[in-house]
Amino acid sequence: MGRAFTAILISAITISGCASTGDRTETLSSGEPPLTFAQVKASPESYNGQSVTFGGKVLAARRLKDGTRIEILQLPLARSLKPTTDLSTSQGRFVALQKEFLDPATIPAGTFITVTGEMNGSITLPLDETEYTYPLMHITRLRVWNEEEEEPPRIRRPLGPGPYWGPYWHSWPYYW
């Protein structure tokens, strides 16, 4: 009975240690690291059907007959998969297509998002006075980052006397 219990306990710990919370970028089943934006941008057609996770700042969202097209300025992702806010670190733009209805008003320009989806080649669209080739992704998961989530919470000490200020909070003569 003791050995069986120990074996079950070790198995449970091992399995729980391998479980994924879904908050991190997962490696491919072959143990390869996830695709980077630079790889996909260099040759989008060669990664068709592969799953990627990118993030950035929404530049525009437009409702089409077959879904919603979101133009995104790519930004590196933090460990939490939240895009960084330093626009100078961008490696370019990409387009994400949401097949189901998505109201463009829910993701206005300037919104920070993280999208997971499958690569589907590229699309060429006008950008100012030129043509720009965007890597194209079909969205399977979309995360919108709210403004409240942009700054970490801060713990502040009270300044000066407050409702709990008393004789024991003063200098050393009051501690006894």
DSSP-assigned letter for residue 158: P
Which H or E run includes 114?
Answer: strand 112-127
Q: Given this model, what pLDDT does residue 17 score? A: 44
**What is the average pLDDT across 51-66?**
95
Report how far residue 167's alpha carbon sits from residue 176's, in angstroms, rounded to the nearest whole number: 10
Specify if 46 maps to a domain.
Answer: yes
Backbone angles phi, psi at 88, to 5 degrees: -70, -10
Does residue 20 register a pLDDT over 50?
Answer: no
Specify if 99 maps to a domain.
Answer: yes
Structural domain count, the chain:
1
Specify if 7 maps to a domain.
Answer: no
Q: Given this model, what pLDDT does residue 146 score? A: 85
The CATH number covering residue 89 comes to 2.40.50.140
Specify if 98 maps to a domain.
Answer: yes
Residue 103: other Cβ atoms inside 10 A: 9
Q: What's the mean per-residue pLDDT of the chain? A: 79
- Tens digit of each residue's pLDDT (9 = 90 or more) over 95-124: 999 998 899 999 999 999 999 999 999 999
HSE (side-chain half, CA atoms, 13 Å) at 157 = 4
- Tens digit of each residue's pLDDT (9 = 90 or more) over 72-88: 999 999 999 999 999 99
Specify if 41 maps to a domain.
Answer: yes
Specify if 15 maps to a domain.
Answer: no
Full domain range(s) for residue 57: 31-145
Specify if 175 maps to a domain.
Answer: no
Contacts of the segment 14-19: beta carbons below 8 A, 24+ positions apart: none
Specify if 161 maps to a domain.
Answer: no
